[in-house]
């Protein structure tokens, strides 16, 4: 059975991701920095074209 996932989001509504190998996880909208250890996530997704990483939550956990 396939699980559906949602992006982890910042309080401002932006998507949290690692958009550069030299920086940590940041919000795409407000640039708030996050430590991976402080984020609640189930899986790390990667974009094969860009190399960007995104912490993801199972849909039933993403509220």
Q: How many helices and strands (H and E) does the chain possess? A: 0, 6
Q: What is the reported pLDDT for 60?
A: 76
Domain ranges of the chain: 5-58
Mean pLDDT score of the chain: 90
Q: What is the reported pLDDT for 10?
A: 96
Q: What is the reported pLDDT for 11?
A: 96
Q: What is the mean pLDDT of residues 16-42?
A: 94
Query: From its phi and psi, is residue 41 left (phi > 0), alpha (psi between -120 and 50) or beta?
Result: beta
Q: What is the reported pLDDT for 9?
A: 96
Q: What is the reported pLDDT for 23?
A: 83
Question: pTM of the full predicted structure?
Answer: 0.84
């Amino acid at each position: 059975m396939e699980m559906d996932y949602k992006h982890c989001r910042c309080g401002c509504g932006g998507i949290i991701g690692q958009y550069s190998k030299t920086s940590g996880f940041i919000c795409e909208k407000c640039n708030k920095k996050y430590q991976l250890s402080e984020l609640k996530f189930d899986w790390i997704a990667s974009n094969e074209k860009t190399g960007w990483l995104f912490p993801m939550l199972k849909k039933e956990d993403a509220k």
